[in-house]
Amino acid sequence: MSGGDLTGLLQSMTLLSLFLIIGMVLRAKIKIFQNTFLPASVIGGFLLLILGPQVLNVIPIPESWSVTYASMPGVLIVPVVAAVPLGLSLKENGGRTIEVAKCFWIMLLATGVQLAVGFGVHLGFGVLGTDLYDGFGWELNMGFAGGHGSAGTLANLLEAVGADYWETAQGVEITMATIGLVGGILIGMFLINVAARKGYTHFLDKPGAIPADIRIGYEKDPAKQKSAGRETTHSSSIDVLAFHLALILVVCGVSYMILNACKAYKIPILSSLSVWAFAMAIMFIVWYVMCKTGVDYLVDGKIKGRITGTMTEYAVIAAVSSLNLKTVSAYLAPMLVMAVIGMIATWAILWYTSKWTLKDDWFEHMIAMFGMNTGVFLTGILLLRIADPDSKSCALADYSLAYTICGLVTFALMPTYAQVISAQGPVIMFLYAVGIAAVSLVAVILTGKLKKA
């Protein structure tokens, strides 16, 4: 890469940075953005898309920048996923192992149902004569449960198996993530109001006002501003952010080397995996070694989160701003049908399994999982905070640990999804999804009969 290429990359990043800040300001000033809790990266990305060449052409974005933006999510997602095991702790949750297991299986059941709905809609439209690409349907689960940040994961996985429609799928995923986030928040608020009236909530008579700082997106009071993390290294040696970033990027570099070697020697299965699958596995080993050698104190989860959070912000705004409107609009009808059925199915599965299975604070657990399965982890936290404003329930701890375990399992399964779609097509993938849902449902039933541990 020449100096000119690096300068072009820097200039393209400055445009994204400008619209990130604009998105933050708009979130703080416009009520509809506050009420739907749209992130600044999504707001700024859509504004840049509208002002760009595809719509108003007010900002003449160079073609090379557009190509960079479309590719950026798939690249940035590698260090984001690689960092997942770093600093991970899966300790038992105060003797509530069974409740955590119940939440895990309910979440995995929702994943299977969303995959089945997505590919079921695919097959249904196929019967009606609509020609859809093989991977259409995966975006429901990736968008709803993964959020906008998963667009890069989807693109990376599909590109790894040679699917030439990866960019279209990335655009559809972004659309589904936006529908899921907004719909999940609005429906979640409705469910909280209904539950409060019917007495399902244990800690709430009526939903209180959401704190202003959460709505506008920043905290004005310095005394209430949270710490970004511990400084585990001294800047006289190495900046703490640089240390964490270097650790993550070294693992990514080793992963690319291993993947390239697997491809060069044509090793079955391994040569077709995505690079982040190797990165996650290697990071597990690195973190295990650090823990065993007693140097795990050098890693701080919050610092790691700030790094991966920054990468995710840029991945999201890049994906949204490069959305191919013409291509994505061709799938509008199946997307809307998939979104409506997916939202209803997600609500039904979570509501009834939580009510039957969970013994303590079932609604509080359910609303957190609903937020996560339609938006992101923090959406679940937001809805739970409204339903349980004083954090008196055990839902937050159970939900957080179950989410971590479920995230690891679903990440491990994703390369398999890509392989099944690529090699065997949507019909087999639909059956595969039904199988995941069926196994999870059996596990939900079995764990539902167990007493607390």
- Per DSSP, 225 falls in state P
- Per DSSP, 2 falls in state -
Give domain limits for the chain: 3-210+309-448
pLDDT tens, the chain, 453 aa long = 677 788 989 999 999 999 999 999 999 999 999 988 889 999 999 999 999 999 999 999 999 999 999 999 999 989 999 999 999 876 655 557 888 999 999 999 999 999 999 999 999 999 999 999 999 999 999 999 988 989 999 999 999 899 999 999 999 999 999 999 999 999 999 999 899 888 888 776 666 556 788 789 999 989 889 898 999 999 999 999 999 999 999 999 999 999 999 999 999 888 878 898 899 999 999 999 999 999 999 999 999 999 999 999 999 999 999 999 998 999 999 999 999 999 999 999 999 999 999 978 999 999 999 999 998 888 898 899 888 877 788 898 899 889 989 998 999 899 999 999 999 999 999 999 999 999 999 999 999 887 644
Residue 453: exposure state from Cβ atoms within 10 A (0-12, 13-18, ≥19): exposed
From residue 282, alpha-carbon distances to 48, 279, 330 in Å are 37, 5, 40
N- to C-terminal Cα distance for the chain? Answer: 57
H-type helices in 228-296, by residue range? 240-264, 275-292
Query: For the residues of 347-413, what is the DSSP string, one character each?
Result: HHHHHHHHHHH-SSSHHHHHHHHHHHHHS-HHHHHHHHHHHSTT--SSHHHHHHHHHHHHHHHHHHH
Length of the chain: 453
Q: Are 99 and 382 contacting, i.e. CB atoms less than 8 angstroms apart? A: no
Rounded Cα distance between 284 and 274, Å, is: 16
Q: Supply the pTM of this predicted model.
A: 0.88
Residue 178 token pair: 């936006």
Residue 198 token pair: 């019917």
CB burial string 402-439: b at 16+ within 10 A, e below: bbbbbbbebbeebbebbbbbbeeebeebbebbbebbee
Residue (of 446, 415, 404) closest to 104 by Cα position: 404
CB burial string 218-246: b at 16+ within 10 A, e below: eeeeeeeeeeebeeebeeeeeebbebbbe
Residue 385 token pair: 């905070």
H-type helices in 145-203, by residue range? 151-160, 166-198
